[in-house]
Chain A
């Protein structure tokens, strides 16, 4: 099955600086790569996703890049703010005639230092 590795497990950045979280996946057939944000004690929520026919996607201060050849994708957060402090999860899945299984990475705890 799919295996998703996520690094780093913890990340601290000064407010206003950029943060980058990286993930690698094992199944070359995977074609959907979402990122979820989980604030302390809350449910995970989708913040951005990318499909394999696109190399980069941006939404205001967050962006995701995908390198299919190397089988890795990254989350970029610019101009970080205190509300960006949370655990971020990457995930991967492939279309499988309705039986898609979303495999998550182990998470990155991002702390924004004021």
Chain B
């Protein structure tokens, strides 16, 4: 198993540009989520999904969109990038939506917005 795969690993955007961070998992996990990591702020939940066709907002959802058309994929879209979205983004998944067990993280995507 490849686990949780994120692309790209690094990205530089200009303010106002749009982009999509890709996330895929091959473990048949029901639950998938996106976190952002900023210095001194820990990991903050952006959006999450408990299954295909179901998404919900986390702690810091503004400026981001998600969709879950398949069990495997959970892309994160930035519609109009802002410097405040400069961060490291982690996709994470776990087996069951009803069991708060281990989260498996991707390697992270470092985004810089100029």
Contacts and interface: CB of A to CB of B under 8 A. Distances in A.
B100 A43 contact: no
Interface in A56-100: 89, 93-95, 97-100
Give the interface size class of chain A: 20 to 34
Among A31, A93, A104: residue with most chain B CB under 10 A: A104
Contacts, number: 60
B105 interface: yes
Nearest to A32: B100
Give the interface size class of chain B: 20 to 34
A113 interface: no
A1 B105 contact: no
Nearest to A46: B102
Contacts of B75: none
B103 interface: yes
B107 A43 contact: yes
Contact of A102 (B41, B100, B106): B100
